[in-house]
């Protein structure tokens, strides 16, 4: 079995230099010699076309090194991975990480449940078999060192869709070989670190350049995470931040007050990397700046639930005079049925084009086209005329244009590998297919060991003839031009 330095899953460790996308193999973070480091873990995922939810119960996240293991999270938290297709979730923060050299990141999951929502309102649940007792080792490209006093993001991008397709049993069982991309660095990589957090405005800065967002007991929980409900973030508001009241209409920051509940979508960053802020004071005196800072894209006023989340398709382009368009919602938080709405955009509405590999790019409303898929946050209000569809007052829209060429997904056994032409032959159930690669192709290997499932980045030379592989790409001159290859380093029979 060939092995290579590995790089995987999208864990964002707030204190390191990039470990998975090009950085040096040995990394040191932080400068202060005797202080503990701070590590933040971020989770994200892509969509899965056959399921509506993927509930993963995570019990442990730890760093593995020669000097011992460092536990970043221990408990039991259930996350809907498929709800993180456009954003990331701040899963855990540990401000007392022992500095040292580490080699791997281990995630332990106790269960994964896939859910399909039927049109009649019923649901179908499938429990996935987790191999290696749910232990998943993510192997970056070489060891990394966390230095004292540092702040690092560990970003984990869990691709449920590709994980499920890698292994098929034909027996009705679903066995997951986890496909997780990892990055360790000073700044989030996946989805630019776009997070959604809810909480209570604690204080506003005198110059109205930012406010402090905190949880408040059981009323609201910051980031909807009980284990993080003592965390506060400084939320920076710029001239492009969209501010909206609980009625969905634009407001100004001066309209916010301490004690107001809000939800913020923004980019999470290390506070030490951002400009100094005017100090905030309360009855106890000046408040120290928070370790993490949120660069606000939109601020949505109101209690959780005021703003509904919709996914659907644009049925018309945006009217440049009124900012309106026709929108078919595939179901909101309240309904599973397709419903037509009149979408309403404002100058303050932020619109982004979302791509798995290109990331998130802001666009103008004039670039939206009929047929684009979109996810949006909106307040739903009645139309002026009862015969007209209800109106969605939109704060933020994340749009995806359908690809010009449909993606091809094939699975089979590797028959041969040609390093000279950077290609391989794959025996699929119907015919043999040639697969070509280039510098943009991502190649990963998944190994089942006695201790855990290990995922790592690889090259074509690291793959083995006879291994099973899953490939996605586009048709090109009779071959599949691959954008992703995931190979099994060991068969299920071998693992048993």
Given a cut of 90, is residue 437 above it in pLDDT? yes
The predicted structure's pLDDT at residue 471: 92
> Which range among 147-161, 213-227, 241-255 has the greatest average pLDDT?
241-255
Given a cut of 90, is residue 432 above it in pLDDT? yes
Residues 160, 162, 163, 169: what is their CA dihedral angle, to the nearest 10 degrees? Answer: 120
452 or 489, higher pLDDT: 452
Tens-place pLDDT, residues 308-366? 999 899 999 999 999 999 999 986 444 445 789 999 999 999 999 877 656 678 999 99
Exposure string of 395-410, with b = 16+ CB inside 10 Å and e = fewer, is bbbbbbbeeeeeeeeb
The predicted structure's pLDDT at residue 324: 97
Query: 3-state DSSP call for residue 460?
Result: helix
Given a cut of 70, is residue 453 above it in pLDDT? yes
Interacting residues of 12 by C-beta distance below 8 A, sequence separation 6+: 40, 41, 42, 88, 153, 154, 155, 156, 183, 184, 185, 188, 189, 190, 193
Query: 3-state DSSP call for residue 276?
Result: coil
287: which 2 tokens?
A: 């408040």
The predicted structure's pLDDT at residue 252: 93
Looking at the chain, the whole-number percentage of residues with pLDDT higher than 90 is 41
Tens-place pLDDT, residues 234-274? 999 999 999 999 999 999 999 999 999 999 999 999 988 88
Set out the domains of the chain in order of their start, with CATH numbers: 11-191 (no CATH), 193-276+290-301 (2.40.50.140), 308-400 (2.40.50.320), 408-495 (2.40.50.320)
Beta pairing, strands 100-102 & 292-301 = unpaired
161 membership: H or E segment, kind and range? helix 160-166
The predicted structure's pLDDT at residue 34: 64
Tens-place pLDDT, residues 466-476? 998 989 898 98
Predicted TM-score (pTM) above 0.85: no
Distance CA 25, CA 34 (A): 24
């Amino acid at each position: 079995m060939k092995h290579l330095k590995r790089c995987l899953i999208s864990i964002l460790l707030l204190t390191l230099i990039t470990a998975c996308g090009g950085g040096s193999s040995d990394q040191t973070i932080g400068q202060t010699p005797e202080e503990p480091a701070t590590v933040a873990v971020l989770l994200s995922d892509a969509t899965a076309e056959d399921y509506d939810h993927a509930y993963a119960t995570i019990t442990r996240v730890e760093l593995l090194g020669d000097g011992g293991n460092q536990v970043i999270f221990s408990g039991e938290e259930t996350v809907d991975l498929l709800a993180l297709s456009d954003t990331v979730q701040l899963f855990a923060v540990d401000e007392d990480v022992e500095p040292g050299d580490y080699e791997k990141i281990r995630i332990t999951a106790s269960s994964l449940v896939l859910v399909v929502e039927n049109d009649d309102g019923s649901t179908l649940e499938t429990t996935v078999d987790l191999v290696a007792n749910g232990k998943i080792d993510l192997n970056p490209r070489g060891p990394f060192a966390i230095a004292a006093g540092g702040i690092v993001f560990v970003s984990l991008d869990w691709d449920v869709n590709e994980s499920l397709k890698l292994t098929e049993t034909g027996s009705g069982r679903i066995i997951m070989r986890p496909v997780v991309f990892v990055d360790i660095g000073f700044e989030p990589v996946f989805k630019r670190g776009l997070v959604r957090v809810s909480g209570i405005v604690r204080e506003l800065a005198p110059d109205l350049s930012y406010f402090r967002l905190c949880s408040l007991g059981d009323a609201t929980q910051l980031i909807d995470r009980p284990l993080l409900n003592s965390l506060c973030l400084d939320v920076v508001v710029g001239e492009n931040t969209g501010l909206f009241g609980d009625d969905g209409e634009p407001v100004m920051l001066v309209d916010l007050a301490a004690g107001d509940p809000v939800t913020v979508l923004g980019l999470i960053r290390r506070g030490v990397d951002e400009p100094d802020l005017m100090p905030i004071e309360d009855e106890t005196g000046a408040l120290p700046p928070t370790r993490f800072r949120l660069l606000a894209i939109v601020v949505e006023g109101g209690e959780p639930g005021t703003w509904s989340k919709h996914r659907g398709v644009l049925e018309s382009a945006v009217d440049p005079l009124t900012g309106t368009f026709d929108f078919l919602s595939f179901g909101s938080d309240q309904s599973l049925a397709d419903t037509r709405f009149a979408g309403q955009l404002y100058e303050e509405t932020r619109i982004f084009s979302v791509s798995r590999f290109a990331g998130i790019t802001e666009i103008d409303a004039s670039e939206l086209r009929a047929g684009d898929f979109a996810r949006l946050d909106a307040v739903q209000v009645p139309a002026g005329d009862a015969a007209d569809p209800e109106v969605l007052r939109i704060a933020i829209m994340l749009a995806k244009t359908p690809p010009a060429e449909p993606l091809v997904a094939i699975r089979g056994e590797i028959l041969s590998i040609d390093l000279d032409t950077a290609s391989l032959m794959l025996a699929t159930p119907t015919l043999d297919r040639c697969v070509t690669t280039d510098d943009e192709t991502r190649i990963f290997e998944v190994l089942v060991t006695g201790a855990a499932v290990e995922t790592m980045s690889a090259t074509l030379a690291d793959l083995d003839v006879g291994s099973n592989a899953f490939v996605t790409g586009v048709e090109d001159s009779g071959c599949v031009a691959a954008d992703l290859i995931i190979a099994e380093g060991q068969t299920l029979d071998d693992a048993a």
